[in-house]
Structure formats: structure tokens, C-alpha cells
Amino acid sequence: DQIVALPARLRRQRLFSTEQLQRIALDCDRYNIEKLYAARPDVAFIAHYTQPSVIQTLREQDIALFTTTRV
């Protein structure tokens, strides 16, 4: 239904319209894990290089994780 956060690099790729980007409240590059959790996401897509501590925190919050792969 809603994207809660995006990495800054993904924002710059212009995959979404300006209006759509304005509705996405958080940037993953500077987000606070507690704010992400408060948004109650169903799933988080994480990069293959995501720090293990971030992955562990998301798992502890019972957020389903999908890892992106390097192409």
C-alpha cells in the first residue's frame, strides 16, 4: 500500500514521480530504526551490503526481509 522509506540513491534514480517521492517520508540512509518500526512495515528490502546489526534489529522487530542481489 505504501512505501515508508527509500535509500537516497534510489530516490535519485527517478524511478518514481516527484509527487510519489514526496509521500515517502523516510530516507534509509539517515533513518532511525525506531521510526521505521513505528511505521509498521510488512516487509523491508535490504541490500546485500546492509550492516549485520541493522539486519538483526529488523529481524528482532519481526519485519519480513528480502535481500536484493548484485546484478
Residue of higher predicted confidence among 64 and 6: 64
pLDDT digits (tens, 9 = 90+) for 39-71: 888 888 888 888 888 888 888 888 899 888 776
pLDDT at 42: 87
pLDDT at 46: 84
Q: Is the pLDDT assigned to residue 4 strictly greater than 60?
A: yes
pLDDT bucket at 7, cuts 50 / 70 / 90: confident
- CA–CA gap between residue 46 and residue 16 (Å, rounded): 19
Strand partners, 5: 26
Contact between 37 and 25 under an 8 Å Cβ cutoff? The reply is no
